[in-house]
């Protein structure tokens, strides 16, 4: 059967070059990089090579890279660590409504510890208005966090403009760049941020390894107490094979970025144009132009995302959805709801994440396979029946 993997927003595949770079550190170079004997030498050197590779990806300095265990950890570290380090100045945080749960739930935890936070809304495309950030900033605001691009709807946020506001106000600014770093150009200096999260499995690196770029001189309180790994900011024996893989993936991403963008944007545009042509009332979610190159997201009205996902899976196609049924928490996507979509439309979300391993044939297969699936589910849907009746009546 044809197999088409289009769930690259959940994770990308690992490039063979990345895996090959990792293998020696799962074999002969098993030493602990903190050890001063010979066994520690190669792993320690490998860590520093990777640090340089990751730093170059975001135009930062190697000593500004802190390796972590996941994008979620990087976001937790940034939000909690920066808030706690600045709490003498104030206890107010500003975030957007479409942040990842690792940011929003970190704010909730801080709230229990006496912090307050303001959630800034987004427009119908899922974009934050920098003027709203300015309005939300108070005397006691110590931290602003807005993601570089949203993983569910692909909209790229005006980070530079927000960065100018936070700089003017002297407030620490974090961006979750997990959906963008390694995918589109990310320049920490140009963006004007103080901290930036990135994760390897979004750009053909391994899972379980990520990083926080932290501008030199920015104070942060560690999440983990222990040894002095990562400059004392992230204790625990380093995931050397993972970090080596992350570094290699970053190096390749930087070298191949323009070619990758050209390839996946063409596939994305084919989907963004093709699906609404073939399926009535299939709405593109997120910004039509200012969006991630490999990201095509839709709401297919009157049917539910998980059932679409399962029928696509039965035809060999992997996608994801923001429907309540798809999430383990059984809640509809907070991103789609924040964009003003009603629940029944948010339930019908479908998300395609394209990779360099996809071809135009893959997209053609989706364009041929999805319409009959939608038709079949609509024939079963009481909402569609109601729509048809009302449409005929009025």
Q: Does 330 bind other proteins (CB under 8 A)?
A: yes
| Count of positions on this chain that bind other proteins (CB under 8 A) | 24
Q: Does 342 bind other proteins (CB under 8 A)?
A: yes
Residues in the chain: 394
Q: Does 340 bind other proteins (CB under 8 A)?
A: no
The residue from 34, 280, 314, 359 that contacts other proteins (CB under 8 A) is 314
Please identify, among the stretches 27-35, 162-170, 276-284, 379-387, the one whose residues bind other proteins according to the rule CB under 8 A: 379-387
> What pairing do the DSSP bridges indicate for beta strands 65-68 and 195-199?
unpaired
At its nearest, how many Å lie between other proteins and the CB of residue 84? 33
Take residue 157 and report the two structure tokens written for it: 């946020």
Cα torsion through 215, 97, 9, 101, rounded to 10: 80
The residue from 53, 86, 263, 326 that contacts other proteins (CB under 8 A) is 326
Q: Does 359 bind other proteins (CB under 8 A)?
A: no
Question: How many DSSP H helices and E strands does the chain contain?
Answer: 13, 12
Gap between the Cα atoms of 12 and 250, Å rounded = 13
Q: Which is nearer to other proteins, 25 or 302 (CB)?
A: 302
At its nearest, how many Å lie between other proteins and the CB of residue 337? 10
Please identify, among the stretches 24-32, 254-262, 328-336, 366-374, the one whose residues bind other proteins according to the rule CB under 8 A: 328-336
Per-residue x/- marks for other proteins, 14-33, CB under 8 A?
A: --------------------
Residues 6+ apart with CB under 8 A from 364: none
Helix ranges (H only) for the chain are: 16-22, 38-57, 71-85, 101-112, 130-136, 159-169, 188-191, 240-278, 305-314, 334-338, 343-346, 360-379, 382-393
Q: Which is nearer to other proteins, 23 or 380 (CB)?
A: 380
At its nearest, how many Å lie between other proteins and the CB of residue 323? 6
Take residue 332 and report the two structure tokens written for it: 């509809």
Q: Does 306 bind other proteins (CB under 8 A)?
A: yes
The residue from 65, 133, 172, 303 that contacts other proteins (CB under 8 A) is 303
The residue from 310, 360, 368, 388 that contacts other proteins (CB under 8 A) is 310
The residue from 297, 323, 355, 358 that contacts other proteins (CB under 8 A) is 323
Q: Does 344 bind other proteins (CB under 8 A)?
A: yes
Q: Does 332 bind other proteins (CB under 8 A)?
A: yes
The residue from 36, 328, 390, 391 that contacts other proteins (CB under 8 A) is 328
Range list of β-strands (E), 116-176 = 116-120, 141-145, 172-176
Give me Rg for the CA atoms of the chain.
22
Cβ burial 19-41 (10 Å sphere, 16+ → b, else e): bebbebbeeebebebeeeeeeee
Take residue 103 and report the two structure tokens written for it: 């940011």
Take residue 372 and report the two structure tokens written for it: 């009959």
Which residues in this chain contact other proteins in the complex, by CB under 8 A?
A: 302-304, 306-307, 310, 314, 323-326, 328, 330, 332, 342-344, 347, 379-383, 385
């Amino acid at each position: 059967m044809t197999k088409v993997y289009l769930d690259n927003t959940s994770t990308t595949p690992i490039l063979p070059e990345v895996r090959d770079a990792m293998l020696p550190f799962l074999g002969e170079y098993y030493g602990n990089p903190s050890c001063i004997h010979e066994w520690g030498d190669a792993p320690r050197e490998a860590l520093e090579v990777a640090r340089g590779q990751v730093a170059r990806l975001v135009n930062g300095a190697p000593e500004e890279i802190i390796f972590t265990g996941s994008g979620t950890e990087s976001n937790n570290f940034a939000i909690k660590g920066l808030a706690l380090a600045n709490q003498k100045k104030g206890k107010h945080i500003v975030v957007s409504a479409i942040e990842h749960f690792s940011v929003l739930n970190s704010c909730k935890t801080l709230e229990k510890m006496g912090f307050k936070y303001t959630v800034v809304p987004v427009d119908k495309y899922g974009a934050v208005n920098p003027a709203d950030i300015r309005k939300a900033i108070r005397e006691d605001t110590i931290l602003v966090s807005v993601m570089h691009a949203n993983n569910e709807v692909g909209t790229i946020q005006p980070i530079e403009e927000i960065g100018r506001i936070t700089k003017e106000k002297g407030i620490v600014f974090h961006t979750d760049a997990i959906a963008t770093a390694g995918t589109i150009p990310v320049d920490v200096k140009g963006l004007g941020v103080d901290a930036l999260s990135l994760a390897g499995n979004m750009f053909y690196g391994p899972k379980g390894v990520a990083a926080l770029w932290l501008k030199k001189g920015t104070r942060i309180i560690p999440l983990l107490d222990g040894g002095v790994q990562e400059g004392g900011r992230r204790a625990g024996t380093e995931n050397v094979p993972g970090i080596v893989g992350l570094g290699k993936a970053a190096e390749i991403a930087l070298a191949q970025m323009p070619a990758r963008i050209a390839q996946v944007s063409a596939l994305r545009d084919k989907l963004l144009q093709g699906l609404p042509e073939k399926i009535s009332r299939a709405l593109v979610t997120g910004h039509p132009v200012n969006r991630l190159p490999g990201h095509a997201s839709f709401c297919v009205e009157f049917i539910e995302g998980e059932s679409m996902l399962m029928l696509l899976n039965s035809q060999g196609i992997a996608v994801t959805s923001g429907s309540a049924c798809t999430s383990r928490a059984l809640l509809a996507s907070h991103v789609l709801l924040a964009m003003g979509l009603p629940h029944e439309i948010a339930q019908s979300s479908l998300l395609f994440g394209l990779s360099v391993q996809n071809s135009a044939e893959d997209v053609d297969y989706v364009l041929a396979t999805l319409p009959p699936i939608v038709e079949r589910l609509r024939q079963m849907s009481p909402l569609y029946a109601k729509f048809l009746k009302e449409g005929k009546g009025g």
